A and B are shown apart, each in its own frame.
Chain A
Amino acid sequence: MATGVNNIRLRKYPVGAGMIIVWIAGAIGLSVAVYRWIVGLRITNMSDNRPWGIWISFDMMSGIGLAAGAFSIAAIVYIFNIKKLYPIVRPTILTGFISYILAALTLLADLGLPQNIWHLIIYWNIHSPLFEIGWCVMAYTTVLLLEFSPVVLEALGWKAPLKLIRSITIPLVILGISLSTMHQSTLGTMLLAMPYRIHPFWYSPLMPVYFFMTAIAAGMAMTVFESYHSARTYQQKFKIGIASRITSWIPYVLGLYLVIKVVDVIVSGTYIYLIQDPWPTFMFLIEIMGGALIPALMFADKRVRSNLSGLVWASFLVMGGLILNRFNSTLVFMNGDFYFPSAAEIAVSIGLTCLGIILFDAAIRFLPMYPNPREKQAIKSLENAV
């Protein structure tokens, strides 16, 4: 180790009972995924009239939406130059990176022919929203890897590649923002091909805009939620000022979303279903009120933003709003046969989520994510050398 930073080593954070459960659930989920590759999709409850299940609604649609924090926070810190948020950039980028790896793993479980996934590279169809999403996700995962790489390079003390990455940080961040804008909104475009399948409360020509806006809000909420849990788990100080600052923008995003949505419902005449269809109305109102209006009002209040439980609960609501929205539009109110996920599907979904936590935990334990004072000094000297 040339620089003497010697940062790739096991840090002795306590291992709680929760983490052991996460390890077990992750192992079960991965085993079921392997079993799925052996026997095929018959272990799922998907069918000809319900070709997409929770792997699409939860792991893909919700997972990618919640990972939007990585590009939002990068934009805020590097482009909008709000340096106060710099301390959470690394964990947020890591969360995003892991989320995209999980999305790719989900695809490998969900695709009927996962061995053909590379066909996206050689057989093009620029008419297909999914083609664009596939390319953006591949490109953006690479961007996230590069954005995260300084942590590893610092720990290894590799100066030359570190210098290279540093020199392209801003173009990389801008590329990441553009790619995210594209695929977050295209996830909505993807559903525009189903005008006769999705309930009018969710089907709208503005779906790409809605998907983009809810992803920004939920991504920021996810960042707060994640920092809170990391701080608790790894005995760091939860920086409430930072969380308060991030969430102060959520009311603007969700407020604009709500205004557009209400105008959309009125102009398109969708409001007639508010009387006709009680069950969609119920879910729609829960999603709009509980997942957008209430947390927007909560975050607009400075007292909530300076209160730990207020912050965490409101963040939870925003994230729940996004997940509910993706479930409503891709599963519950998409026409098709009755569907409830099989045990195997649930196991894989939970297992992959747990794998994400395991990867995050491993990164914190082995890499200088929260440098101690001595490490900070070593990194500083390395930075000066670069």
Chain B
Amino acid sequence: MEVNRRDFLKIAGAGIGTLVLPSLDVKAAAIPGNLENAHAMLYDATLCVGCRACQVACKKRAGLPYVMDENQMYEMPTDLNGDTWTLIKLYQDTETYSYVKKQCMHCVEPACASVCPVAALEKTSEGPVVYHSYKCIGCRYCMTACPFDVPKYEWDEVNPIIQKCDFCADLQAAGQQPACSAACPTGALISGTRAEMLAIAHQRLADHPEQYYNHVYGEHEVGGTSMLYIAGVSYEKLGYPTLKDQPIPDITWPYMKAVPFVFFGMAGAMSAIYYWTHRNKEEEEG
């Protein structure tokens, strides 16, 4: 059961030698730098007429089936789901109303990509957060970590995958607009670089402060998103949560960075205690 001190040192030394980790400064690699020149979209709720052309274009482009009821009648979903990547909703109270478009926010530093254990979600430097279904194990951590409740699941499938807006990454790579913004007839949804979108948003807020709620949603929320919003009512009413500026990956990364230190620190402490508690062993045995 016991090993003598010399053997133990040999084994421990070999273990530590082979387990020494390379420096773990890969954060820079995971977050593709300044996204001001990456693709972004701006949704102006005051210009949206709720025609849902974007929704139809999205279904067509992504090849997503329509949700039918039992009589093969088309049913409007009430929230994003495994067959719906984008959705127009209407907020209405006694004084005011506003349409709102839901889809993936394409965070600058996305929680989903940070928590995915197999890196199935990836923030590309072009802007879109894309999903590699071939890697996915189906843990659904992305769904719980997303502060916007965006990733949805194919609960009825035997081999389900995550479904969420991919920002038409393929179309954008080919120099085209995302299908939804290309389909928008009123200019409520426009696409361009993040810097351009922010400039336009702030310009509109400055030109017509009476029309707008004075905040560009997505400029700073959880570190900023590539999907930006301006609207005439508060974002809470539109179902967008009040979020801090800190990106979610910045919360967990310091802990993850400490993991090797915890591992070797604990091993070192335990080895030290072992020697302390067994210091008289040889005398006892002798």
Of residues 99 through 127 on chain A, the ones whose CB sits less than 8 Å from some CB of chain B are 110-114, 116-117, 119-120, 123-127
B273 partner residues in chain A, CB cutoff 8 A: 79-80
Chain A interface mostly helix, strand, loop or mixed? helix
A39 partner residues in chain B, CB cutoff 8 A: 158
Taken residue by residue from 272 to 285, chain A's Cβ proximity to chain B (1 for < 8 Å, 0 otherwise) reads as 00000000000000
Instruction: Using known A-B contacts A80-B277, A116-B136, A193-B248, determine if residue A125 contacts B144 with beta carbons closer than 8 Å.
Output: no
Report the Cα distance A167→B140, complex, angstroms.
42
Instruction: Using known A-B contacts A48-B81, A111-B138, determine if residue A129 contacts B252 with beta carbons closer than 8 Å.
Output: yes
**Interface residue? B17 (CB, 8 A):** no
With both beta carbons as reference points, the residue of chain A lying nearest to B241 in the complex is identified as A196
B118 touches A123 (CB 8 A): yes
B11 touches A182 (CB 8 A): no
A195 partner residues in chain B, CB cutoff 8 A: 244, 248, 251
- Candidates A48, A127, A190; contact of B152 at CB < 8 Å: A48
The number of A-B residue pairs with CB atoms under 8 Å apart is 194
A307 partner residues in chain B, CB cutoff 8 A: none
Question: How many Å from the CB of A386 to the closest CB on chain B?
Answer: 9
With both beta carbons as reference points, the residue of chain B lying nearest to A44 in the complex is identified as B155
**Interface residue? B283 (CB, 8 A):** no
With both beta carbons as reference points, the residue of chain A lying nearest to B275 in the complex is identified as A79
**Interface residue? B115 (CB, 8 A):** yes
B266 partner residues in chain A, CB cutoff 8 A: 177-178, 181-182
Number of residues of chain B lying within 8 A (CB) of chain A: 67
**Interface residue? A81 (CB, 8 A):** yes
Report the Cα distance A170→B116, complex, angstroms.
34
Taken residue by residue from 1 to 34, chain B's Cβ proximity to chain A (1 for < 8 Å, 0 otherwise) reads as 1110001100110010000000010110010000
Instruction: Using known A-B contacts A47-B155, A79-B277, A111-B138, determine if residue A192 contacts B251 with beta carbons closer than 8 Å.
Output: yes
Report the Cα distance A120→B117, complex, angstroms.
7
- Candidates B2, B115, B139, B155; contact of A41 at CB < 8 Å: B155
A110 partner residues in chain B, CB cutoff 8 A: 139
B161 partner residues in chain A, CB cutoff 8 A: 112-113
Of residues 84 through 136 on chain B, the ones whose CB sits less than 8 Å from some CB of chain A are 111, 114-120, 135-136
Of residues 116 through 160 on chain A, the ones whose CB sits less than 8 Å from some CB of chain B are 116-117, 119-120, 123-132, 134
Report the Cα distance A40→B158, complex, angstroms.
4
**Interface residue? B143 (CB, 8 A):** yes
Question: How many Å from the CB of B56 to the closest CB on chain A?
Answer: 22
B274 touches A130 (CB 8 A): no
Instruction: Using known A-B contacts A178-B263, A334-B144, determine if residue A113 contacts B160 with beta carbons closer than 8 Å.
Output: yes
- Candidates B81, B153, B157; contact of A51 at CB < 8 Å: B153
B8 partner residues in chain A, CB cutoff 8 A: 170-171
Q: Contact residues of B with A, CB < 8 Å?
A: 1-3, 7-8, 11-12, 15, 24, 26-27, 30, 79-82, 111, 114-120, 135-141, 143-145, 147, 149, 152-153, 155-161, 241, 243-244, 248-249, 251-253, 255-256, 259, 262-264, 266-267, 270-271, 273-274, 277-278
Top 6 nearest A-B pairs by Cβ distance? A112-B138, A81-B277, A131-B117, A123-B118, A51-B143, A51-B140
